[in-house]
Each structure stands twice: as C-alpha cells, then as structure tokens.
Structure 1
Amino acid sequence: MIHSCPLLRSLTLLLLMAGLTFSCQTRNSSDNTTEQTAALPPAPNFNADSAYAFVARQVAFGPRVPNSAAHVQTGNYLVETLKKYGFTVTEQPFTATTYDGKKLNARNIIGSYNPQASKRIMLASHWDSRPFADADSTQKNSPVPGANDGASGVGVLLEIARVLSQDSTKLSLGVDLVFFDAEDWGNSAVATDAYAGFCLGSQYWAANRHIPNYTAYFGVLLDMVGAKGATFPKEGYSTKNANEVVRNVWTTASQLGYSTYFIDQQGPSITDDHVPVNEIAKFPMIDIIHMQVNNLSQTFFKEWHTTEDDMDTIDPATLKAVGQTLIQVLYNEAQPVI
C-alpha cells in the first residue's frame, strides 16, 4: 500500500522508507532462494578432488587416440574402474571408418547402475582424444592431450560412479554411464557427411544400442566441462529437442548456486554426441558444453584442439559445479511424484 505524505515530511524520510522497502524485497528474495534450495531432496557430495584425480589419471596414459597403446590402456582402466564400483559393464567394440578412410579399432563402454530399474537416465561423455592439434599454430600434427576435451567429462562420470557406489540409500532409478569412442577424428573443412566426420561412436551406439530397444527417460552429454571459468549456455540442439531437460538441469544448477557456470543464455547449435541419440535412438538428450559467450573469435575454450589442453586447463571448482548438479538431478528424479 502507498501512503500519502504531507509536504512538510522530509525527503530523507521518503528515502528511508524506499530503502526499507528495497530491504524487505531483497530479504524476501533471499528467503525464497533459501527455501528453494532447502526444498531439494538430499543428495550425496560430489568430491571435486576425486574427479580431478580421475581426469589426471586419463591424461597420464597419454593422448587417447584410437589405434594407440594409450587408447587401449585407458579403455581398460575405465572398465576396471566401473567394475570396482559395482557397475554392470558392457563393452561394445566396433570398427569405425574415418572421413579420410582410416579404420579405427574402437569401443563404446557402458556402465549400468541398478540395471533392473525401468526408469533410466543416461549420462555420457566421449573418452577418446583428438589425433591432431589443428588449432595449434606450431604443432598441428601433434595429438591433443585432451584434459578438458574428453577427460573432464569422463572424470565427472567416474566420480558419479564412485558416489553412487558408496551411497547406502540407493537410488530407485537406473543410471547408465556411456563412454563414447571415436568422437574426435572429424574435420569440418573436409568431411562431407552430416556429422563432419565426428561422433562415430555415438552414431554406432544409437544404431546398435547395447541393449536392444534401450531407451532412457532422458540423457545428458558432457563435453569440455572442466576448464577454469567455464560457461555453459543452452546449446541449440538441446533446447530444440529436449528443452524440458535443459530447464530441469539449469534450474537445479541455479538452486545449487552454480548459475555463473550454467548461464541463462541461448548458445549456438553444436554437432556433438547428443545429436545421434536424439535423431536415431529417439529419446531426449542435452549437451552441457563449454562455449564462450560474446566472443566472436573463439567458440570454445582457448586451448581447444591444441597441445595446451592439459591439466593446467582443469579447475576442480568447475568439475564440482557440473558433477554436483548432475547428482542432484538424479536424486530429484528418484523422488516419488505426489
């Protein structure tokens, strides 16, 4: 209600009243935020240091380029780690043909939690790294270490696997961690197929799912989710094909205090491993991918596709923001609908 005031009342009093109104509004807004956060169902803690160690372990093998010893060793490590945490593991070997005619010995790796559950959520990342640093001015033919572009998403998923394995309450839903292979051999300037030579593993999985007719309530892809100061705008194909999932994840991130990472801004459409899932497997999947906003000269993080994509790019705080958001999303979905 607005009260009229005599002219003899001072401007100071009016300003004081306005200040009190603003204070009340600010307090109410703060209280609402606290109430929203408190209303979230309890979820276990995502350990950023553990996720960082998972990233570092992958990078220590060397570039995970298909047909290399480091690639084989890393794949074996993923399988062993998932089994150690009690996940049912499916290996999906396949031969991929690159845009330039090379044959790759590849394998998708799937770890399933609570495999009997009918309601399932799929979390994914690619685990291979790029064979050539084409964005590097001096070392274009050198392989990329792939700390952020590949290993960061895998590290987040491995930490989620560890967290789920240690939670005594047990989720009522199923979770499938899918590690796509042979994502990063493409060439947008030369390849003529719809995916520009990228996403070979996800295309194969979508057409040959590890369980016939497998489907999920929704999926979330992670790509480049560990760099310092990362920003995740809403990727274009995600909002087109799975906008409700985008809203779910970004709202949860905001409630947890991670809106500086999960920014409320529309981003461009990126051809990534979620596209074959949406188009071929026919269930909604979004992409959490680092894109720079308001930077016309650089779409992704500055070390992208260079030999400098090493552990110096990785910030545990970014891994925490992504991993804790996903864990909260899982525990939100496990709650009964009233």
Structure 2
Amino acid sequence: MKRNYTIIPLSLLLLIAMVACSNKSKGNTDSEGKQPKSTVSVPQFDADSAYRYVKEQVDFGPRVPNTAAHKACGEYLAKKLEQFGATVYNQQVDLTAYDGTLLKARNIIGSYKPETKKRIVLLSHWDSRPWADADSDEKNRHTPILGANDGASGVGVLLEIARQLHKQLPELGIDIVLVDAEDYGPHQSYTGNHKEEYWALGSQYWAQNPHVQGYNARFGILLDMVGAKDATFFYEGYSEEFAKGINRKVWNAANNLGYGRYFVKEKGNIVTDDHLFVFRNARIPTIDIIQYSEETGFYENWHTLKDDMDGIDRNTLKAVGQTVMEVIYNEK
C-alpha cells in the first residue's frame, strides 16, 4: 500500500506546540470553546434566623385583615425591611372580599437597588386564613388560623434573604413583595359561584397598581407553604405554562445544591395563587414554589388550627432559602 507523507518544517512544529500549550492552559472551555459561567460567592442562608422570623409573625396571632394582630404584624414587617436596608413602599388599600367584606389591606414592598432596571421580584403572602375550614373538628371551622406554614414560612424566608441582601447585593435589583389578603377566599361551606379572582386580592392589586410606575421584572418567584418537614415541591401547573424556563432554573439550582429530595423534577398540579395574577396583570413570568401534590394535596395541616410552629422545619426553610439565593445571586 502506497502512503503519502508530508514534511513539516521545524518552525511550524514549534508554532503548533505553542498553540497547544496555550489551549491547555485555558483548561475549562467546553466543547464549543465557550467559557463556563463564572460562579459568584452566594451568602449562606441562616435557617435559624428564618425560623425566628416565622415565629415572630405567628406570635402576633392570626394575621387576618381588619384585626389588631394584622395591623401590628404589618408594622413589624415594614420595619424589618427598613432595618435590612430596603427602600420600603406601603400600599394601604381597601379590597372587597368575595362576601362583600371590606378589607383594610396592606401590601409591603422592599426594594434593593431601586435604580437598577434589571430586576427580580420575590413574593409571599403575609395574611393568614380567617377560618380553619379544613379542620377535622367541625367546631373549629370558623376559627382563624395561625398560618405558620401557610403564609408565615414564605415571609420568614424572604426576611432572611432581605437580611443577607443588606450585607451583600447581587447584580440585579431585587424587590420583595409581601402581599395581603391572599387567603380571604370563600369558606369551604360557601355555596355561591367560586371564582379564581376571589383569592389573592393583594397581588391582584399590586400587579395592576405596582409600587413604581411602569414596573417590570425579568421574572418572579412566589413562596407559599415552604416550611413543612420533608416538603416536596413539584413544577406547579401554571408556572409550567408561562414560566417553564424559570422552573428549570430554580429546580436545577436546588438539585445542584443537593436539595433534590425537596425540589422534585416532575410536573405537579395547577394551583390558583398570587403568581397567576402577577403574570396575567403585570405580564411578569412568575413561578410558585408550593407544597402540593395530587396524592397528598396541600400541606397536611393546611387551613386547620394545627398550622402552627410545630409544623415548621429548619431544614426545609434552608433548602428553599438557599436555592432562591443561589438563583438571584447568579443572575446576570
């Protein structure tokens, strides 16, 4: 068999060797020659601190609109955000509940780097259910609940994130929006027409009347019932519909951090929650991190008198809080 040989000059061999050494020194390029994303220093979420903020809310009692406990807790939340260096906006507004009750509501917004156009919005509702209408004991079904998980857990996580933001700001601007009157939807015994708009009254108002004219955000993350032991979070249905990429971003971050047992990469059910109206009315793609599955439904003590501090687990708060921080600090 005849072979062809090419004689390569010594000078060309030296040039090839130099280029090879140069490429080797880069080391971390991918198959397309692109540099991988640089990692940033993400602060450590303090679960004990978040737990304390959950308890401090619960200690006020049920945070039902038109009550003294609700008013006092609203002052506490606004002062906490101020303490943590946020520019604070308060939306004091009268909202009409499904049964005609006039609710003295208050949305509380804490903004970081308010001058920055590129923004992320983090949300949670801070009110609690006016009735334990899912309680096993019928006598309790018109008694207000403490809402340790359903309300206070998400807010507790966001307050701890605010504390960390005060010490180290990410590249993008962050808005923490604590919405009111989310849980004043119809009692389970209500026989009238059930509408989605009967829920999440505060977020509906904020989405239509943002704290800053022309407000927009790249995406939003809603936290709801994020404190129970061994909670599992699936891709919520509406989130998959209008913010699928954000779901993947968050769940991938959680799994990379080792929190895969909490953030399960499977599609869950549709839940009517604040994120739905933030997307519909403000056109901000927003996901919902919420404990809900077809097999078990919501958190086991959902809308019962047992939704108290006994149901709050620091490990779950840590998994959610650290995941959210990983996302917002790495966003460019």
Q: What residue is the counterpart of 1:3 in the other structure?
A: none
Cα distance, 1:173 vs structure 2:
1.2
Distance 1:111 1:177 in 2: 5
Q: Say which one has the larger Rg.
A: 2
Cα distance, 1:171 vs structure 2:
1.9
1:115 alignment partner, SS class: coil
Q: What residue is the counterpart of 2:117 in the other structure?
A: 118
Cα distance, 1:213 vs structure 2:
1.6
Native 8 Å contact 1:227 1:318 kept in 2: yes
Distance 1:183 1:196 in 2: 10
After superposition, the C-alpha distances for 1:276-312 in whole angstroms (9 at most, x for unaligned) are 111110110000001135x2xx411110000000000
Distance 1:192 1:124 in 2: 28
Q: What residue is the counterpart of 1:80 in the other structure?
A: 79
> What is the letter of the counterpart of residue 112 of structure 2?
Y
Native 8 Å contact 1:66 1:128 kept in 2: yes
Cα distance, 1:172 vs structure 2:
2.0
Cα distance, 1:137 vs structure 2:
2.4
Aligned-residue RMSD, C-alpha: 1.4
Distance 1:82 1:213 in 2: 23
Q: What residue is the counterpart of 2:280 in the other structure?
A: 279
Unaligned runs of 5+ in 1: 1-37
Distance 2:149 2:238 in 1: 22
Cα distance, 1:235 vs structure 2:
0.1
Q: What residue is the counterpart of 1:95 in the other structure?
A: 94
Native 8 Å contact 2:128 2:146 kept in 1: yes
What TM-score do you get using the length of structure 2 for normalisation?
0.86
Aligned residues: 292
Distance 1:292 1:217 in 2: 28
> What is the letter of the counterpart of residue 132 of structure 1?
W
1:329 is the counterpart of 2:327: yes
Native 8 Å contact 2:87 2:110 kept in 1: yes
Q: What residue is the counterpart of 1:64 in the other structure?
A: 63
The residue correspondences of 1:210-221 to structure 2 (distance < 5 A) are 210-221=211-222
> What is the letter of the counterpart of residue 185 of structure 1?
Y
Native 8 Å contact 1:250 1:262 kept in 2: yes
2:310 to 302, 309, 312: 312
After superposition, the C-alpha distances for 1:6-45 in whole angstroms (9 at most, x for unaligned) are xxxxxxxxxxxxxxxxxxxxxxxxxxxxxxxx97432010
Cα distance, 1:260 vs structure 2:
0.4
Change over 3 Å in CA distance of 1:267–1:312 after alignment to 2: same
> What is the letter of the counterpart of residue 288 of structure 2?
D
Cα distance, 1:107 vs structure 2:
0.8
Q: What residue is the counterpart of 2:145 in the other structure?
A: 144
Native 8 Å contact 1:95 1:105 kept in 2: yes
Distance 2:162 2:325 in 1: 10
Distance 1:325 1:93 in 2: 31
Change over 3 Å in CA distance of 1:190–1:214 after alignment to 2: farther
> What is the letter of the counterpart of residue 274 of structure 1?
H
Native 8 Å contact 2:269 2:293 kept in 1: no
Cα distance, 1:194 vs structure 2:
3.5
Q: What residue is the counterpart of 2:33 in the other structure?
A: none
After superposition, the C-alpha distances for 1:176-235 in whole angstroms (9 at most, x for unaligned) are 000000000112654536415211001111111111121100000000000011000000
What TM-score do you get using the length of structure 1 for normalisation?
0.84
Q: What residue is the counterpart of 1:49 in the other structure?
A: 48
Unaligned runs of 5+ in 2: 1-36
The residue correspondences of 1:131-170 to structure 2 (distance < 5 A) are 131-138=130-137, 139-167=140-168, 170=169
Distance 2:279 2:236 in 1: 14
The residue correspondences of 1:3-42 to structure 2 (distance < 5 A) are 40-42=39-41
Distance 1:279 1:190 in 2: 27
Distance 1:135 1:283 in 2: 32
Distance 1:85 1:42 in 2: 20
